[in-house]
Structure formats: C-alpha cells, structure tokens
A and B are shown apart, each in its own frame.
Chain A
Amino acid sequence: MHFEPSFHKRYHKALRDQAMIKAVKLGTGRLRGQRATAVEAVGKERWMEFRDRAEAIRLHVIQHLDQYLEQLVDNVLKKGGHVCLAKTGEEAVQYITSLAKKKNAKAIIKSKSMVSEEIHLNPALEKEGCNVIESDLGEWIIQLAGETPSHIIAPAMHKNRLQVAELFNAVSEEKLSTEIADLCGFARKHLREKFLGIDIGITGCNFAIADSGAITLCTNEGNARIISALSPTLVTIMGMERILPSIDDLAVMLSLLARSATGQKLTVYNTLSTGVRNEEELDGPQEFHLVIVDNGRSKLLGTKYEKVLNCIRCGSCLNACPVYRNIGGHAYGWVYPGPIGAVLSPLYQGIDKFGELAYATTLCGACTFACPVKIPLHDMLYALRNDKVELEKKGELAEDIAYKGWSAVFATMSRYRFSVRMARRFQFPLVKAGKIAYGPPPISEWLKHRDMPALPDQFFHEIWPNLHQDRKE
C-alpha cells in the first residue's frame, strides 16, 4: 500500500470516508459500552484494585525482562522447541521465511498477530511462493481487501457488512446475502477446509508464561487453537515484552484483557500450549518455533517511556479516544492506531516520521483511564510533544517564536496587560456584532466551524478594584 507521509492528508482522507467513520463509530461505541458495563459489574473499586495488580505484574516483568526472557527461552528449549531472538523485524522475517523454504511450505495459515503486521511477514512469505491465509475473521476480511488492520482487536472494524459481502462474493462460488449470519457461515466453511492442509501454522501470542514456557492464545473464534493443534510445524511470534512470570498471573491478566477489550468476562477460547507434542498427546505440532521480536522495544527499557511496554493490546484506549472514533485506524499510518499507536509509532519508527501523531489527541486522558495496565498514555503524549520541540528546535518556526513571545509577555504583568489592551483596541477590523468574524490562521481554522467572541469592553483585572470596593462597604 502507498504510504502517505502527511498525517494531515491521511486524516482528511479518513474524514471524507463516511461509510468507514460510521462503521468505526458503531464498533467503538459497542466495545466501550460493553466495557463500561463489565467494569460496573465488577465494581469501580475492585476494578481499580485489578488494574493496580495488573500494573504491578507488568512493571515487575518489564523491570526484570532479561531474567524472564532467559527463563522463558530455557523452558521452551527444554520442551523441545526452537527459539529465535530477533533484534529487528527483518531478522524475524528472515527466520520464518527460511523455515518455510526449508519445509518447502506452500500452505501457511495464521491466527491474529499484530507483531506479524509490524514486521510485514505476509508479503515476505508470499514472495517465497507461500499461500498465506489469515484465519481470524476480521483479518481475513482485510486480507481479501488488501488492507491493514484498523483496530488492534477488531481489524476490520472500518468495514460494514455490505462491503464484507462484496469481498466474500468475490471468492464464493454461490451468491451470498448481506446477512451477517450468512457471511459468518460462509467464512467458517471456507476457512475450515483450509485448516486441513496446513504446512506451517503461525500464531501470535497474548502472553508467554516464563516458568513453564507455555504460550497463551486468546480468541473468540477458536482459530488459534485449531492452528496450534493441527499444524505439523508451528511458529509463534511475540513481542519480547509479552511475558508473565507464572500461570498465577494469568488469572488477573485474562480477566482484565477480556473485559477491557470486549466487555466479556473471559475470551471464548483460552489456549495454553507448550509446543511440541509428547508421546502421550494426540495433537500438537511436531516442531515448534518461538520467534521473540525486539524491533525497538529494548531501547525503551529504562527510559521515561518504559511503561508503554506494559501494553497487553486490548484496544480499549482506541475505543475511548475521541480522535480515533472520528478518524479510524488507518489515518495513524502505522500498524498500531489510536493513543497507543500515537505513542508507539514515534518511539519505534522515529519521532521524525511519526512525531505528528503526538498532536493527534485532545489530551483528554480517556486513554489513560481506559488502560487496564495503567500506562499514562496522555502523559506520554505530552512528553513526546516536548521531545519533538527539543529535538527539532526549528521544527515549526512560527510556533517556536510564538511561545518565546508568549513567555516573555505572560511572565510580566505590565507586558501582559499592555498586550491585551492593545489586542482589544486593534481587534475592531476583525469584529462583527460582538464576534470575531475573520482572522489569520490559526484563528481562521477555529472559525471554520465555530464562533469566537470578541474581547469584551472590560477585562476582569479592570473591574476587580470596583468589586473589591463593594466588598469593603
């Protein structure tokens, strides 16, 4: 897909796509409504305790990531698995493509993995002549459309059922209706057949358990479970931070993940898989490869952004965000959209390329409060703005000068009072019937959609002496 480097252009394109915005508003509205109901059922106080516990678990893991990685790797190897520690996305892709070549794999079936999107795995496998099929319903829809996910847990949220019917009809032998049940039925039948001839199965990873080497997969469709059971060769891709110390920690995380993501008490299928099947087991892979991807994560350790590694990819900050709800996910430009994407994209891909995303927020803080693992997302957005200003001193010259001037005026009362009186005296060419009618940018941008009152005849500091007089009487 062509990458449009200007966020400004990307979101304007999104705002014009009425069908997409309507679908995103519907989808996010439903998800955040369900989450609110789930939180209410738990009770606000208990929910806060849950978040505190989850935060503590995640912080502990991140602070001891080296130890837990080592323990995880040891346990996976002990159980007969192979491990690839990939410093970059390219390294991970290369490992998996060479494995595919070695296995002479033609049919590859995947369950949902945001990391695989991050490292652009599918195009690389296709280049090797593999037929890659996404088995998550949403992922399959966007695969058919040739698009990328627009939401972390609902990748095809931006599509409506008419668009989905059109995509399915292109691969269906018989004409499908636009009823959701029919469309799901077709997807199930079509995908079910694909599971039978897998050469390599690829899954993501919700949590890797360090002390057992087990991989936790959470899906509502059961597709990841089928893949982990039926693939002769199984590859699991995970971000290096997605570790929990033990299965005890999973109880907290699973209940928070499901409630935050969809408002469910628990995701429908929760699978714990320890890789290669042993002699007594009836299913499971003969070969298991765990690909642990760094790709920019380790450089955040020890920085003020470290806490972003707490993320468990529930997507609730997206649903909470008024900006996401109005522009959808693709406008963010990289694999992770919404507030978490606005933080991760500049951190992983460079502030020069994605720094603009730090301004794609009203700083309302809804993301921080939706986050089950208490990542201070809106604080990080402030910090990224500060980093951008400090890094690019001359980034936006007009703004640099404006704030230099602002601090010079607002730090001295006499300058402040003089400036605002001058503004009031000379605003008249712009004023019409008590309102600002015209103005240079950025005021003109405000005036496109809203009125702005003119400066009134009296400032408060001018009337205070009279008010004060009244008080004394």
Chain B
Amino acid sequence: MHRRGKNLKASLFITCIADLMYADVGKSVVSVLKRSGVELDFPEGQTCCGQPAFSSGYYKDTAIVAKKIIDVFENSEMVVIPSGSCAAMIHHGYPILFKDDPIWRKKAKDFVEKTYEFSQFIVDILGITDVGAVFPQKVTYHSSCHMTRILGVEEQPKILLQNVKGIDFIELPYSFDCCGFGGTFSMKMADISAEIVEEKVNHIISTGADVLVGSDLTCLMNISGRINRRGIPIKTMHLAQVLDQRGEKHAF
C-alpha cells in the first residue's frame, strides 16, 4: 500500500480528452494538487489509455498503446488521472488485455495498484476532504458509470463538493443513470444516445442548478453538447475546476 498523507510525489496522466479539448481542466487539476502539497510531474510520452479501441473490441491495437502507457509511468510512485472512465479502463481493462501474458500482466498489475482517479487520490490518499475552495453557486453532480460501477469511486467527489465554501449542492435525480455517451455508441447509434442524454439533461434542469459538475470529461462533453444545442444556460464543469475556485478574486 502506498504512503498516505501530504507532501507526496505523483505523476499526472492528463488523458487525451483533457490534453486535446480541455487544457483548462488540466490547469485546475495541477493547481488543486499543488495547493494540496503534491509534488507533481508530467511524464513525457503519454497519450491515451486505450479506451476507444478497447470498447470497440480492438484488443490487439489497444494493447500496443497500453504497453506504451505502462512504460511511460514505470518510474512513477503514484499516478493521478482526472477521469473516472480512464482510471476504470486501467483498473479493469488492462488486466483483461494482458491476462495471457505473464510479463505484461505483472507490469499492468503494478500500474493498476499505483493509479488513482483525481477525487479518490485527494480523499483516500491525501486524506483531504476540504481543499479550501469557495464557490457560491447552485451545483449538481452527475455520477459517471465507469467511475462508480467499475472503479467503485462514488462518495469522494461529493464529499469534496459538499465541503466547498458557499456551495449549494443539490442531488441529481437518477444521478447514476448513464448519460448516453458510451464512446463510439454516441455516433454509431446516435439517435438512441440522443434520447438517453435528453433524459439526463431533463433531470439536470429539474434540479434548478446553474452548474453541472462531473468527473469524466467525455460524459461532460456529451451532456454539455446537448445542453448547448438546446440553448440552456447551465454551465458544465469538471470537479477540478470547481475545487480550483477561490471566491470572487478568481471567479470562473
């Protein structure tokens, strides 16, 4: 088991979606972890966890990329990922990919054991439940499927949110229902996916919240994509962005 407490060393696996589409989320992740006393590095060579290919059934192509990722973080003490589904991919998918390869199975196991989702790392490893954020807004939270069901991280993001100063946290009805993204499902079966995200958006509207928070950028891209298409004035934010708010001086 890893050392717990503050002043730890960790490596950031930013994930391809945050790297390419949401650099601001990455900035907030760095800022929150830095404030929490983590010495962070960003190993060169990281790309994607492999989830798109894995979910499409292309295990061999996934394994090529997964091996690369395992190598990149080989010397890291711990790895933090600001994405529930990417962390779940590593925890659940990598052992499946390498089940028949004793060498890589061992390497994957070591990687899995030191890899944590962002909120899980803060609450379970750093032992912090209040990062000192101030955010006087009406907020609701979508529980992403892979983060809750596969990774088993359910309460940590909510604990962190509820300890944000000034926040008005409202539970989202059917919070655990899928948003309809499902990777390529959202494009292969776009019309079914649209019905599912529509339900999610209607639940979000019913809370009266001004901000939807999540821990998975692909879910947020899907939900915000629908919210924006409908022209609804609800902002979507990654948990790290909320935890990075310091009140009026640094208003979002």
Q: Are A451 and B180 in contact (CB under 8 A)?
A: no
- Contact mask A286-324 → B, CB, 8 Å, 1/0? 000000000000000000000000000000000000110
Which of A110-118, A149-157, A460-468 lies on the face that meets chain B? A460-468
Chain B: minimal CB distance from A133 (Å): 36
Residue from A327, A446, A455 in contact with B192 in the complex, judged by beta carbons closer than 8 Å: A327
Verify A464–B42 contact, CB threshold 8 A: yes
B209, chain A: closest CB distance, angstroms: 20
Residue of B nearest to A448 (CB): B190
Is B30's beta carbon under 8 Å from chain A?
A: yes
Q: Give the segment of B47-55, B130-138, B163-171 that binds chain A.
A: B47-55
Chain B nearest CB from A31 CB (Å) reads 15
A459 B19 Cβ-Cβ under 8 A:
yes
Q: Do B56 and A403 have beta carbons less than 8 Å apart?
A: yes
Count: A-B pairs, CB below 8 Å: 188
- B47 shortest CB reach to chain A, Å: 4
Q: Is A368 an interface residue (CB 8 A)?
A: yes
For A379, list chain B residues within 8 Å (CB): 96
B185 touches A443 (CB 8 A): no
Q: A229-237, A245-253, A260-268, A384-392: which one contacts chain B?
A: A384-392
Does B58 lie within 8 Å of A403, measured CB to CB? yes
Among A368, A389, A406, A452, contact of B221 (Cβ-Cβ < 8 Å): A452
Which residues of B (198-252) have their CB < 8 Å from a CB of A? 199, 221-222, 224-226, 228-229
Most chain B beta-carbon contacts within 10 A, residue among A364, A412, A445: A364
Measured between beta carbons, the chain B residues less than 8 angstroms from A404 are 61
Question: Interface size of A by Cβ–Cβ distance < 8 Å?
Answer: 62
Residues of A within 8 A of B150 (CB): 365
Query: Which residue of the partner chain, among B62, B188, B196, B224, contacts A407 with CB atoms under 8 Å?
Result: B62
Q: Which of A11, A359, A413, A449 contacts B194 (CB 8 A)?
A: A449
- Bound-state CA distance A416–B16 (Å) is 10
Report how far A452 CA is from B190 CA in the complex, Å.
14
Q: Does A5 contact B (CB under 8 A)?
A: no
Would you call A463 and B27 a contact (CB within 8 A)? yes
Q: Is A186 an interface residue (CB 8 A)?
A: no
Q: How many B residues are at the interface, by size bracket?
A: 35 or more
**Chain A residues, CB < 8 A from B52:** 406
Which residue of chain A has its CB nearest to the CB of B45?
A413
Asked if B21 contacts A382 (CB within 8 A), the reply is no
Query: Are A385 and B57 interface neighbours, CB within 8 A?
Result: yes
Which residues in chain A, 352-388, are within 8 Å of chain B measured between CB atoms? 358-366, 368-369, 379, 382, 384-388
> In the complex, what's the smallest C-beta–C-beta distance from A372 to chain B, in angstroms?
16
Whether B19 and A446, one on each chain, are in contact in the complex, defined by CB atoms closer than 8 angstroms, is no
Query: Nearest CB to that of A25 among chain B residues?
Result: B199
Look across to chain A and name the residue whose beta carbon is closest to the beta carbon of B19: A460
Chain A, residues 424-458, CB within 8 Å of chain B (1/0): the string is 00000000000100000111011011111101101
CA of A129 to CA of B192 in the docked complex: distance in angstroms? 42
Is A182 part of the contact surface with B, judged by Cβ < 8 Å? no
In the bound complex, do residue B182 and residue A361 qualify as a contact, i.e. CB atoms below 8 Å apart? yes
Q: Which of A334-359 contact B (CB under 8 A)?
A: 358-359
Residues of chain A within 8 A (CB-CB) of B191 are: 11-12, 15, 448-449
Besides A385-B55, A462-B23, 8 new A-B residue pairs in contact (Cβ under 8 A), listed by A number: A364-B182, A407-B53, A445-B186, A452-B221, A456-B23, A460-B18, A460-B20, A467-B27
Q: Could you list some 12 contacts between A and B, CB below 8 A?
A: A322-B177, A359-B188, A365-B149, A382-B54, A388-B57, A399-B56, A406-B52, A446-B186, A451-B226, A464-B26, A464-B30, A471-B34
